[in-house]
Structures are given as structure tokens and as C-alpha cells.
Amino acid sequence: MASLTRLLPILGWAPRYKRDDLRSDLTAGLTVGAMLVPQAMAYALLAGLPPEVGLYAATIPVLVYALFGTSRQLAVGPVAIVSLLTASALAPLVEEGTAGYLGAAALLAFMVGVVHIVLGVGRLGFLVNFLSHSVLVGFTAAAAIIIGFSQAKHLFGISMDRKDHFYETVVEFFKNVADYNTATVILGALALLTLFGLKRIAPAVPAALVVVIGSILAVEIFDLESRGVRVVGDIPDSLPAFGLPDFSGSLVANLAGTALVITVVGFMESIAVAKVYARRHRYNLDANAELVGLGAANVASGLFGGYPVTGGFSRTAVNDSAGSRTPLASIFTAIVVLITLAFLTPLFSSLPNAALGAIIVVAIVGLVDIAEMKHVAEVKKTDLIGLGVAFFGTLVLGIELGILVAVVASMLVVFARISMPHSATLGHVEGTTSYRNVARFPEAKTTDGVRIVRVDAALSFVNAVNIKKLLLAEADALTQEPRSLVLDASGINDLDATGAEMLHDLLADLKDRNVALHVSDVKGPVRDVLRRSGLWEQLGTNVHSSTFEAIASIQTNRAQSVDQRQLGIDERGSLSNREQSTV
């Protein structure tokens, strides 16, 4: 039963459902449903898809996530960034507005779902961590700017050819902006003012729905369509129908990279917001189970004529504030959208594209998070490299290449940090057994003829050369007896073959300099490698349980037989005769 509950989390919460939660879940479901209907149509427009496809993606996938997902508040459905990624992937491959475009969008959703499920079942959720927080902030901000500018044609009522790069879109906009439609500009401006105003004055009001209703009435009352205002037009009132996507080999190959990018970006957005509300409501969230839940939702989207979906920031916040207690709220949301599809689509035929464009612009404004950029700079300035590369790379190279370059750049920054790890020269804090960084604690006293160095990183092929240079430089600074170098290994949690070979060479070089190497506070995994490489025998009694003990041993200037297990040096018992010899 436990394994079945892990597969279908609904079996865990549904039997214990509290009747008292029903009203809260119903209110949240209806509220998010009212918000999702216009958003789903707007995001479908952003993806180059008809409005009904957005509604399809907001029905069956939402129901499926309620069965498989572990978050009680996460609101799944179409989101802006994933919609933009979908458009950028499909536009070069298939002509927009054709049946092939719709099929490719469904295929992409199916592929995204499969990638999610493979990662989740394989417990490979950690792979998404290759996209660091700072890179995600930069990428999201650039994507938001691209998304916002892509809606300029709807807000100004002009025709623009789709371009692959942001700067080309900007040039195209200024070439055509003179042909703007006055009625469209006024309608778009009023929609933006209404959305921003209600967001500030009455955040509980579903502003998008208010704009949708108001703009439809304006089009009908003032006959704006005859004045050049472009509208959505007839929306089929059919419900989502099951159908397999076209698994064309060339199309699958062309979409594979985008499917991976959407998985990483979508899951990072989803898990980030889901964790916030899991902490707030004190329940556990399984990242790998979330991958499976989102994967199932995307597979369902692909099988029922939708496009890729994930959890959204704004809708999840509304879902929580409206009182969501369980995933039942999402089931009510899906029912609202299904009712809209079945009975209410004729009401949306006069919905102007300008209103949908305004909804998208307001939704993505918060994605350009200047405050978070400043926070990243304050916490770790080097993280600005990944953030900046992600931001400018995405604007210049496009969505997919931009994020690829950003990930590579962030990995290079990590390798650069590892290759030049933090190290410290230590001194003794009087009256204690502690040794501290003399740069931070100037009162810590150093010992004549002894240098104590702490390295705060694993010794590996990435940094072995630089660490050896550091240690030899410290050894060369010793000008008086006893000429001893103590390596405080408390910060070293791993040692690879290259690091071990470096230590072999270091011992030989120090012997030539008549400097003794002592090692203290060695962790278990590092001890294991020292044993297997023969270094433990070479070091002999120069391995100590702590830096304090190392200095005491150096100052007594004698080698003594010790029980390494008793002194906490090593768990394998007393020293052998050979280990008891002085190095």
C-alpha cells in the first residue's frame, strides 16, 4: 500500500480528507479557475497556438497532477516562459497555424513529460541543480523582456514577422510601429491600467477576468472590430480529445533539446514555489515524486491536444491565499475550465488580442526581479557572472542557446572556485585548543618554525597543482627550526588519485627542503584513500587527531607509539611497527 501511495499520492490524502477543508478548496479552485481561463488563452497566443489549446492544457493535465503531484498548493498549467520556449522551438520547424504546428506542440508536451518521468523514476532530480539560482534569475529576466516585447504587436495592433533573436524583433517592431491602430492602443493601455490598478488596490479580485469581460463588452458595444481591433475569433466548444502525437523521427530529434530545457526550467520554477508553500504549511515535498507528477501532467497534455505545462508562481500564490488545503482545489479548477470549454467559448469570440497581450505583460513584469539581482550581488559577487551571461546570452543568442551558454558559464565559475579553493594560515587562540584564520583573528598567535595551513576543499585534479604551489610557498617561508608544515585537513572531504599523487610529490619536495609535513583532523573518506595510496605509511606518526595535538607533538620533538583508535586518529586500531617509525 505504501508503494502504491508513493505512485498515486491522492491515495494518501483523499481517504483522510476533512470535510472542513471542502469550502476552502472549492473557493480556491473557483478563484484560480477564473484566473486560469484568460491566462491559458493568453499563454497559448504567446506559444503561437489557438486559445483552445491553452484551455486543453489547463484541464486534463491539471486533473492528472492532482492525482500524481505531492504539492497541496501548486497550480499547474500553461506559464509564460514555457510558452515562449514552445514558440521558439516550433517556429523554425513548423508553420504556425497549421495542424502540424498543433501536433508538434502536443509531441513536445509528451516528450517533456517523458523526460520528467525518467528523471523522477531514476531519482535524478539533482541534475536540475546544474542550473543555479543566479543563472535562473538572469535567464528568467531576459525571457520576461523577450515575452513582453513579443506582445507589442498585439498591444499596438501591428503586423510583425516572427524573428529568432530579440534584437531582430526590436528592429521589426520599430519598422512597423508607425502602422499602429489607435483603438487597439487605447484598449491595450486601459487593460494594462486596469490590471496594474486592481493588482495594487484589490489583489483578491481576478483582474484578468475583469479585463477579459470588460474588453469583450467594449468590442461589442463600440464595434471595435470594424475599427481594426483584432479579436480571438471563434473558439471550438469541443472538449479535449485523446490522440497520439505524430512521433516523426526528425521532429523528435529536433525537439529533444527543447524538451530537456523546458524540463529543467519548468521544474526549477515549479519546485521553487512548491517548496515555499510546503514549508509554510509544514509538510514534506518529494522532488522526485514532483518530477513524476509534472511528467504525468505533461504526458496527459500531449495526449489530449495541449502543450507543455508546469507550476506557476502567480496562480500558486492565488491558490494558497484563496484557501487551498489539498489538491482537490486543482480538481475544481480543472472543472471550471472544462465547463468554460463546453458551454462558454462563444462568449470569448470577441475577446481582443490586445487584452490577452496585456494579461501576459502584467504576468511577467515580476519576473524581472531587480531586488533578487541585488541580493545575489550582495551574497556572492561572482554569481553575477552566471546571472549576467544568462541575461545577455538569452537576449542576444535566443532562449535555448542563451540558457546553454549560461549553464556552461556557471559551471566554469564553479570549476574556477574549486581550482583556487579558500585556504587559511592558522594561529592559536590563547586559553583554548582552537586554531583560527589569522587574517580574521589577528590575536591568534603563530608558532615559530611552524606553518599551519587549512585547505577548505576536496583535493582533486582540478586544484592539485594550485594547492601544491600554496603549500610549497608556505614551506619556503619557514626560516627557523623545527621547520614543520601542518596541513589542517578538517576542510578536506575528498581526495582523488591526482590529489594523492600530488601529496606523494609534495612529501618528496618537502624532504628536499628539510621540512616535515604533519596532517591533522583527517576525515574518514580521505583516510581511506591515504591508506590505499601508501601515503598513510609514509606519514607515519605525523598524522594527528587535531591541530592542537600536531603542534604539541612538534614541540616535544619526539615520535611516540600511540593507539590511533584510542586517540581518534584512525578507526583501524593501533599503529603497526612500520607506522610507528618517524618520517
DSSP string, 8-23: -THHHHSTT--GGGHH
Both 373 and 449 in one domain: the answer is no
On whether the CB atoms of residues 510 and 516 are closer than 8 A, the answer is yes
Q: What is the DSSP letter of 234?
A: -
Residue 2 within a domain:
no
Provide the H-helix boundaries in 307-369: 313-321, 328-339, 353-365
Provide the H-helix boundaries in 353-461: 353-365, 370-379, 383-397, 399-419
Both 366 and 484 in one domain: the answer is no
Both 429 and 403 in one domain: the answer is no
Burial per residue of 355-385, b for 16 or more beta-carbon CB atoms within 10 angstroms, e otherwise: bbbbbbbbbbeebbeeebbeebeeeeeebbb
Both 471 and 384 in one domain: the answer is no
DSSP conformation letters of 429-454: -TTSS-EEETTT-TTSBP-TTEEEEE
Helices (H) and strands (E) in the chain, counts: 25, 8
Q: Are strands 310-311 and 76-77 parallel, antiparallel or unpaired?
A: antiparallel
Residue 10 within a domain:
no
Strand, coil or helix: 491: helix
Count other Cβ atoms within 10 Å, centred on residue 323. 16
Count other Cβ atoms within 10 Å, centred on residue 51. 25
As a dihedral over the C-alpha atoms of residue 44, residue 47, residue 50, residue 56, rounded to 10 degrees, the angle is -50
Both 265 and 408 in one domain: the answer is yes
Run of H or E including 56? helix 51-56
In single-letter form, the type of residue at position 528 comes to: D
On whether the CB atoms of residues 550 and 483 are closer than 8 A, the answer is no
Both 151 and 247 in one domain: the answer is yes
Both 406 and 432 in one domain: the answer is no
Q: Which of 412, 440, 457 is the last residue of a domain?
A: 412
178's grid cell:
508607425
**What was the pLDDT predicted at 575?**
44
396 Rama class: left (phi>0) / alpha (psi -120 to 50) / beta: alpha
Residue 15 within a domain:
no
Instruction: Report angle CA 448, 454, 455 to the nearest 5 degrees.
Output: 145
> In DSSP terms, which residues pair with 517 in a beta bridge?
485
**What was the pLDDT predicted at 67?**
93
Distance linking the first and last C-alpha atoms of the chain: 61
Residue 314 within a domain:
yes
Instruction: Give the CATH number of the domain where residue 440 resides.
Output: 3.30.750.24
Q: What is the DSSP letter of 227?
A: G
Both 187 and 90 in one domain: the answer is yes
Distance CA 332, CA 26 (A): 6
Contacts of 367 (CB under 8 A, 6+ apart): 80, 81, 140, 141, 143, 144
In single-letter form, the type of residue at position 374 comes to: K
Both 442 and 339 in one domain: the answer is no
CA–centroid distance for 157 within its chain: 36
Show the 3-state SS of 508-520.
Answer: HHHHHCCCEEEEE
Per residue in 454-497, pLDDT (tens digit) is: 999 999 999 999 999 999 999 999 989 999 999 999 999 999 99
On whether the CB atoms of residues 105 and 53 are closer than 8 A, the answer is yes
Indicate if the alpha-carbon torsion angle 398, 399, 401, 405 is positive or negative. positive
Both 93 and 213 in one domain: the answer is yes
Which residues, given as ranges, of the chain have pLDDT below 50? 575-583
**What was the pLDDT predicted at 417?**
81
Residue 580 within a domain:
no
Residue 504 within a domain:
yes
Q: What is the DSSP letter of 575?
A: P
Both 30 and 74 in one domain: the answer is yes
Both 286 and 141 in one domain: the answer is yes
Domain count, the chain: 2
Name the pTM for this structure.
0.76
On whether the CB atoms of residues 117 and 299 are closer than 8 A, the answer is yes
On whether the CB atoms of residues 402 and 232 are closer than 8 A, the answer is no
Domain range spanning residue 220? 23-412
On whether the CB atoms of residues 281 and 273 are closer than 8 A, the answer is no
Residue 581 within a domain:
no
**What was the pLDDT predicted at 582?**
36
Residue 1 within a domain:
no
**What was the pLDDT predicted at 521?**
94
